[in-house]
Amino acid sequence: MAELKVSVVSADREVWSGQAKQIIARTTEGEIGILPGHVPILAILAQGEVRVTPVDGAVITASADDGFLSVEHDTVTIVARNAELV
Protein backbone atom coordinates (compact mmCIF):
# COMPACT_ATOMS: atom_id res chain seq x y z
CA MET A 1 0.00 0.00 0.00
CA ALA A 2 1.24 3.49 -0.85
CA GLU A 3 2.22 5.83 1.96
CA LEU A 4 2.66 9.55 2.45
CA LYS A 5 5.97 11.07 3.50
CA VAL A 6 4.92 13.76 5.98
CA SER A 7 6.74 16.65 7.61
CA VAL A 8 5.08 19.07 10.05
CA VAL A 9 7.27 22.06 10.89
CA SER A 10 6.92 25.30 12.80
CA ALA A 11 8.99 28.42 12.29
CA ASP A 12 11.76 27.17 14.57
CA ARG A 13 11.67 23.35 14.57
CA GLU A 14 10.35 20.13 13.09
CA VAL A 15 7.30 19.01 15.06
CA TRP A 16 6.80 15.57 13.48
CA SER A 17 7.91 13.64 10.41
CA GLY A 18 7.39 10.12 9.17
CA GLN A 19 5.29 7.84 6.98
CA ALA A 20 1.51 8.14 7.14
CA LYS A 21 -1.67 6.68 5.67
CA GLN A 22 -3.78 9.85 5.94
CA ILE A 23 -3.68 13.55 6.84
CA ILE A 24 -6.62 15.75 7.80
CA ALA A 25 -6.05 19.49 8.11
CA ARG A 26 -8.12 22.65 8.43
CA THR A 27 -7.59 25.14 5.61
CA THR A 28 -9.15 28.50 4.85
CA GLU A 29 -11.48 26.63 2.46
CA GLY A 30 -12.49 24.00 5.05
CA GLU A 31 -11.15 20.61 6.15
CA ILE A 32 -9.14 18.60 3.65
CA GLY A 33 -8.20 14.94 3.72
CA ILE A 34 -5.03 13.73 2.02
CA LEU A 35 -4.49 10.08 1.02
CA PRO A 36 -1.69 8.54 -1.05
CA GLY A 37 -2.09 9.45 -4.72
CA HIS A 38 -3.64 12.87 -3.98
CA VAL A 39 -3.26 15.45 -6.73
CA PRO A 40 -0.72 18.22 -6.10
CA ILE A 41 -2.14 21.03 -3.99
CA LEU A 42 -1.04 24.11 -2.09
CA ALA A 43 -3.49 25.28 0.59
CA ILE A 44 -3.43 27.98 3.26
CA LEU A 45 -3.85 26.62 6.79
CA ALA A 46 -6.52 27.97 9.10
CA GLN A 47 -6.03 27.85 12.85
CA GLY A 48 -6.91 24.36 14.04
CA GLU A 49 -5.78 20.77 14.19
CA VAL A 50 -3.72 18.70 11.80
CA ARG A 51 -4.39 14.99 12.31
CA VAL A 52 -1.83 12.53 10.99
CA THR A 53 -2.52 8.80 10.86
CA PRO A 54 0.88 7.06 10.72
CA VAL A 55 1.20 3.60 9.19
CA ASP A 56 0.85 2.01 12.66
CA GLY A 57 -2.68 3.43 12.94
CA ALA A 58 -2.19 5.73 15.96
CA VAL A 59 -3.42 9.30 15.43
CA ILE A 60 -1.03 12.19 16.03
CA THR A 61 -2.62 15.60 16.51
CA ALA A 62 -0.85 18.91 16.14
CA SER A 63 -2.18 22.41 16.67
CA ALA A 64 -1.16 24.65 13.76
CA ASP A 65 -1.91 28.12 12.48
CA ASP A 66 -0.71 30.69 9.98
CA GLY A 67 0.96 28.56 7.34
CA PHE A 68 0.42 26.29 4.37
CA LEU A 69 0.05 22.66 3.32
CA SER A 70 1.74 21.33 0.20
CA VAL A 71 1.19 17.95 -1.48
CA GLU A 72 3.25 16.62 -4.36
CA HIS A 73 4.19 13.03 -5.30
CA ASP A 74 2.92 11.61 -1.95
CA THR A 75 5.05 14.11 -0.02
CA VAL A 76 3.08 16.31 2.38
CA THR A 77 4.74 19.35 3.91
CA ILE A 78 2.89 21.36 6.54
CA VAL A 79 4.59 24.62 7.52
CA ALA A 80 3.09 26.81 10.23
CA ARG A 81 4.28 29.82 12.16
CA ASN A 82 3.11 28.05 15.32
CA ALA A 83 2.80 24.27 15.49
CA GLU A 84 2.99 21.86 18.41
CA LEU A 85 1.81 18.36 19.26
CA VAL A 86 -1.38 18.26 21.29
> What does the domain layout of the chain look like in residue ranges?
4-85
Given a contact cutoff of 8 angstroms between Cβ atoms, the answer to whether 50 and 32 are in contact is: no
Length of the chain: 86
Tell me the CA distances in angstroms from 38 to 14, 23, 63, 82, one per residue in order. 23, 11, 23, 25
Q: What is the pTM of this model?
A: 0.93
Q: Is the pLDDT of residue 38 over 80?
A: yes
CATH of domain 4-85: 2.60.15.10
The pLDDT score that the predictor gives to residue 73 is 96
Q: What percent of the chain has pLDDT over 70?
A: 99
Given a contact cutoff of 8 angstroms between Cβ atoms, the answer to whether 47 and 83 are in contact is: no
Tell me the CA distances in angstroms from 17 to 7, 28, 29, 30, 85, one per residue in order. 4, 23, 25, 24, 12
Which of 21, 24, 14 shows the shortest CA–CA distance to 48?
A: 24
Mean pLDDT of 32-46: 97
Q: Please report which confidence band the pLDDT of residue 30 belongs to, taking 50, 70 and 90 as the band edges.
A: very high
